[in-house]
Amino acid sequence: MTDADLVETVELPLTVHGLETRGVSAWFGERKVLDRVSLVMPAGEVTALIGPSGCGKSTYLRILNRMHEMVRGAGLAGQVLLAGEDVYAPGRLPAKVRRRIGMVFQRPNPFPAMSVYDNVAAGLKLAGIKVGKAERDDLVETSLQQAGLWAEVRDRLRSPGGALSGGQQQRLCIARSLAVSPDVLLMDEPCSALDPTSTRRVEETIELLRGRLTIVIVTHNMQQAQRVSQSCAFFLASHDTPGRIVEHGSTEDLFERPRDQRTADYVAGRFG
Ligand SMILES: Nc1ncnc2c1ncn2[C@@H]1O[C@H](COP(=O)(O)OP(=O)(O)OP(=O)(O)O)[C@@H](O)[C@H]1O
């Protein structure tokens, strides 16, 4: 048997696209917070962004789906490519980019008074997608299944989203994002407000989604980065130096065989 035979091959649907940035820098007013960040986030994989607080991970994530430009005074240079196409090309609508590159935030933010069903269907509505009732039913069910929540809510689709547990609410938000069939899902510390059991369930959902779409996750939890991601990028900034990637590569290499001493210190919990 050769080494090649041992490599697990995951067959990707043709529709799964990867994401790449080339020389991305960012500013808030005069202050530069990211410096020439180049990174490939492979199709169908989970890429974890790690690093101490304030090094620019969330800013970088928000650049990927054009949310950074919503902040007054925010500046940007460089390129973001989805399936090789620049998401900042002239004429590309930010709303369309955000439909292809969805996002889940630190705190679950379902519409609390809206039913579970309507919360997922809201993903379609917000994206301006009109479908008939039967197709909507299908999409809601499929999205909840992909988010690993269907079995828990199939009998309470008409209950308010706000009545679910924190972890269920986060998976409901994931289902809402999935309803529009995005290419990429960005997750900004999606488990930081959750207890360990709910965290596990969200991690299982991430595992379920792997291979179906490309995922980029910001996490402060080193065990989580190791559990859920296949590749990993370590960001670092200092008081007078904007955030940069110190090291990136396979998650295993980054944690087991870091090339840079700062990476070794960070993943071992010696700072940050
Ligand atoms: N809206 C904003 N206006 C001005 N400065 C901002 C804004 N958002 C973030 N910053 C600054 O940009 C830098 C990067 O912040 P960012 O939130 O991206 O870091 P982070 O690595 O995600 O931090 P954390 O892990 O604490 O969430 C920080 O110095 C922060 O203070």
State which of 25, 35, 58 you would mutate to test the pocket of ligand 1, scoring each by most atoms of that ligand within 8 A of its C-beta: 58
Pairing outcome for strands 31-41 and 19-28? antiparallel
Between CA 115 and CA 255 the distance in angstroms is 42
Is ipTM strictly over 0.95? yes
Identify whether 251 is part of a domain. Answer: yes
Identify whether 200 is part of a domain. Answer: yes
Distance 56 CA to ligand 1 centre (A): 6
Mean pLDDT of the chain: 93
Give the model confidence (pLDDT) of 91-101 as tens digits.
Answer: 999 999 999 99
Distance 98 CA to ligand 1 centre (A): 21
State which of 30, 49, 59 you would mutate to test the pocket of ligand 1, scoring each by most atoms of that ligand within 8 A of its C-beta: 59
Between CA 66 and CA 58 the distance in angstroms is 12
List, edge to edge, every strand of the sheet that includes 19-28.
85-86, 74-82, 19-28, 31-41, 241-250, 231-238, 46-50, 214-218, 184-188, 101-104
Domain containing residue 220: CATH number: 3.40.50.300
- Nearest of 25, 57, 81, 12 to residue 225 by alpha carbon: 57
**How many domains are there within the chain?**
1
Q: What percent of the chain has pLDDT over 90?
A: 89
pLDDT reported for residue 1? 41
Between CA 12 and CA 7 the distance in angstroms is 15
Give the model confidence (pLDDT) of 26-76 as tens digits.
Answer: 999 999 999 999 999 999 999 999 999 999 999 999 999 999 999 999 999
pTM: 0.93
pLDDT reported for residue 11? 56
Identify whether 159 is part of a domain. Answer: no
- Nearest of 39, 37, 6 to residue 237 by alpha carbon: 37
pLDDT reported for residue 128? 85
State which of 37, 55, 103 you would mutate to test the pocket of ligand 1, scoring each by most atoms of that ligand within 8 A of its C-beta: 55
Residue 54 in contact with ligand 1 by CB distance below 6 A:
yes
